[in-house]
Amino acid sequence: MRIAQDLAETIIDPAAYADETRVHDAFTKLRAETPLGIAQPAGFDPFWVVTKHADIQLIERQNELFHNGDRSATLTTIDADKAVREMMGGSPHLVRSLVQMDNPDHMNYRRLTQNWFMPQNIKKLEPRIREIAKTFIDRMAAFGGECDFAKDVALLFPLHVIMEILGVPEADEPKMLKLTQELFGAADPELNRTGEEMDKSSITVDSVADTIAEFMEYFNAITEDRRANPRDDVSSVIANGKINGEPLDHFAAMSYYIIAATAGHDTTSHTTSGGMWALCESPDQFAKLKSNLDLIPSLVDESIRWVTPVKHFMRTATDDAEVRGQKIAKGDWLMLCYPSANRDEELFDDPFTFDVARSPNKHISMGYGAHVCIGQHLARMEMRIFWEELLPRLDSIEFSGQPTRTNGNFVCGPKAMPVRYKMQ
């Protein structure tokens, strides 16, 4: 069944995610009327739009039937796909990270760093992360009661954490932030390399490729250093890692760094600022938290559900299949719509209410199955520590201007968030 053209155009429109009301209205209509249907916006190959939580889980647990790497793992135009394949010798990927891999490569590459990010191992990082959190909260207090929470606090705290884990010098953090925003904010004129307004069909492969090349140049130097002088950091694990007894090939190693250096902070910062956005809009929830700090872990998960910083991934059917009674043909492309799944009325009571005490909270923001986010435990710990340090000192907070979100249909969230507050 084909979905209405206006809905198809909305759910791929970067500006609709900056608005949020538009895209959620579209997803709500799709869940009710066409929960699994085919979209064919102008300039795109047709693809299935998967809007229901249960269907996304079903697809994500069948990794052999629904591949990440056969076609682009993110939505792309026909022209952009062609340009990437010409540039990459037939491959649809400008980078080949865990996101673009299927087994056996996915499992082998994931094992390289998986231990680093397991709960028992990141626990040793907690004292240092708490120190970093306190530094940024002290900085927030020093602003004197007004700041841009997104730009001045939420963006910078997770960035510093992941760069320490990678072993990137603090002086290079602004460069890493700029490149990350260019990559994920390719549709946003304030963040991309061109400074131009981009719609869903005009994002240029060249500008994204230039950003990736700059990342690779940087991490190539890191690799050479860590091979000569290994340290206790994730960069040393990647630089000296082996798959089946052989060193990582250059492209795979560079891709590994890039996913760690971008998704390793951007999603967490969006979730933190998005959680604060929701608290500014819901003073009753802020009061509930202040009176019961034991709710912080559920605040973290509700923020993750509410913001859903990763908006979609694509999968490709490796064989004929059936989902929700629909026949999926071998080679079909599917868009997994995480914001829709996280507002699914079948699973969540009052899904459009931000509830810091929500339990259970079976959001799917971190993915599911073999491709579940490798950094999920670190991200949760960072946010828990941040709120544990901030909330006892924060007496009140409200918007002091109009908050805005990034234009983007892949990874995006709050871009600017001017606030006025009282702190101890």
Spatial separation of the C-alpha atoms in residues 102 and 3, rounded to whole Å: 29
Q: Count the domains in the chain.
A: 1
**DSSP sequence for 118-150:** SHHHHGGGHHHHHHHHHHHHHHHHHTTSEEEII
Q: Residue 257 maps to which CATH number?
A: 1.10.630.10
Taking alpha carbons only, the member of 72, 248, 266 closest to residue 180 is 266
Q: Give residue-wise pLDDT tens across range 180-210.
A: 887 776 666 555 555 555 554 445 677 788 8
163, pLDDT greater than 90: yes
Q: Which residues have C-beta within 8 Å of that of residue 240, sequence separation ≥ 6?
A: 226, 227, 230, 247
| Type of residue found at 229 | N
The Cα–Cα gap between 270 and 266 comes to 6
Q: Which domain holds residue 183?
A: 5-423
| Rounded CA separation 387/382 (Å) | 9
pLDDT at 233: 93
pLDDT at residue 202 in the model: 46
Residue 417: what pLDDT? Answer: 98
> Which residue in the block uniquely carries the two structure tokens 């080679």?
331
Which residues are CB-neighbours of 189 under 8 A, at least 6 positions away? 195, 196, 197, 198, 407
Query: What's the pLDDT tens digit per position in 57-114?
Result: 999 999 999 999 999 999 999 999 999 999 999 999 999 999 999 999 999 999 999 8
Range scoring the smallest mean pLDDT among 128-137, 199-208, 266-275, 317-326: 199-208
pLDDT at 162: 93
Per DSSP, the residues of 357-388 read: T--S----TT--GGGS-TTHHHHHHHHHHHHH
Instruction: Name the residue with tokens 């990350």.
Output: 180
Which residues contact residue 159 at a Cβ distance below 8 angstroms, ignoring those fewer than 6 apart?
173, 176, 177, 265, 269
